[in-house]
Amino acid sequence: MDRVQFLRNSFIASASLLAGSISNADASARQPARNQTRKTNTFNLDYAPHEGMFSNRGGKNFLDQIRFMHDQGFRSIEDNGYLARSADEQSKIGDLLAKLGMRMGVFVVDGGDNWKVSLTTGKQEFKDHFVATCRRSVEAAKRCNAKWLTVVPGFQERKLPTGVQMANVVDAMRAGAAVFEPEGLIMVLETLSDTPELFLQQTHQTYNVCKAVNSPSCKILYDIYHMQRTEGDLIVNMDRCWEEIAYIQIGDNPGRKEPGTGEINYKNVFRHIFDKGYKGVMGMEHSNSTPGAAGESKVISAYREVDQFI
């Protein structure tokens, strides 16, 4: 193909994109750029955006957003609400990730009991519902080759002593691990700061649960934003519980926006995580500090900046 013809084809492909219609020929035309991005534009750690984070620059369709994420050098995504999607939509996401060589990060094991008093009570109805949701999550995970699944054991049962609640949660997590372990899946228990009613609020509590469950399928999701709020001392607490941490999420504090918008020295934190040999996903569990396409570019620039820790 001569240069004039190549430029003409490129112009046609660009016009098609602006019109909102992505043809197969256009997808083929963009593939070389993706291949180059894979070689030169990735990050030192595996940061994972989520749906909506790049909807202005990537398009309103989630699949188009995933393609845009890949073009920017990201090699994983997160999708908390993945379990609630139709099987067809789940499969389309999984197929695209496989095609692009990307990983699925966490999605949430949520049967409706995460944000209320539930597993801490020890009631069989809550445990049975949790196990059923775990089984449903296994089937969903197969459609996108997921490995990690977020678990939130709910609120405290104030009528029971803390030790009894802990025993009830451990019992439920053992039941969940029995579902996930044969499938090679890992439920990661998230320690949160949203309300004092949550049972797991500090890393040492979740570490205690994981040690008691004693399964490779029950580990910690260490969310840097939440842990800065509830306990601080980020690097020390990560080191104390490192053997049980299987997944990490990101968000600056205050505000829960991209790195560089708050008080956390993310370049130092990321260097520490990298030096420990972490190869897992770093979930971008935050919103954008600035709206629109400019804000999306700012997020990408922020990660380029804090990723320069080597």
Tens digit of each residue's pLDDT (9 = 90 or more) over 221-251: 999 999 999 999 999 999 999 999 999 999 9
The C-alpha angle with vertex 255 and arms to 195 and 243, in degrees rounded to 5, equals: 65
Structural domain ending residue among the three candidates 24, 40, 56: 40
Tell me the two tokens of residue 284. Answer: 């971008």
Domain co-membership, 33 together with 160: no
The verdict on 14 and 134 lying in the same domain is no
Weakly modelled stretches of the chain, pLDDT under 50: 1-39
Q: What is the largest CA-CA distance in the chain?
A: 77
Do residue 13 and residue 115 come from a single domain? no
Domain count, the chain: 2
Could you tell me the CATH number of the domain that includes residue 245? 3.20.20.150
Q: Say yes or no: 169 and 33 in one domain.
A: no
Element (H, E) at 307: none
**Containing domain of residue 31, as a range?**
1-40
Beta partners for 77?
Answer: 104
CA distance 221 to 187: 9
Q: What is the pLDDT of residue 15?
A: 38
Q: Are residues 148 and 237 in the same domain?
A: yes
Give me Rg for the CA atoms of the chain: 21
Same structural domain, 73 and 101: yes
User: What local confidence, expressed as pLDDT, does residue 169 receive?
Assistant: 98
Q: Return d(Cα 183, Cα 241) in angstroms, integer.
A: 25
Q: Cα angle at 232 between 229 and 238, to 5 degrees?
A: 120
pLDDT for res 265? 98
Give me the phi and psi of 227, to 5 degrees please. Answer: -75, -25
Q: DSSP states of 68-82 as a string?
A: HHHHTT--EEB-TTG
pTM of the full predicted structure?
0.86
Give whole-number Cα distances, 170 to 90, 117, 208, in Å.
30, 15, 9
- Give the model's pLDDT for residue 40: 59
What number of CA atoms fall less than 13 Å from residue 205's CA on the CB side? 21
**What's the pLDDT score for residue 12?**
38
Q: Quick one: 61 and 3 in the same domain?
A: no
Q: Domain check: are 28 and 112 in the same one?
A: no
DSSP 175: H
Judge contact between 83 and 137, C-beta under 8 A. Answer: yes
- Shared domain check, 138 and 118: yes
**What number of other Cβ atoms are within 10 A of residue 128's Cβ?**
12
**Confidence (pLDDT) at 13:** 39
Based on the fold, state whether residues 221 and 140 are members of the same structural domain: yes
Residue 9 shares a structural domain with residue 55: no
| 138 and 34 inside one domain | no
Q: Name the strand (E) or helix (H) holding 216.
A: none
Please state, in angstroms and rounded to a whole number, the distance separating the CA atoms of residues 243 and 93: 31
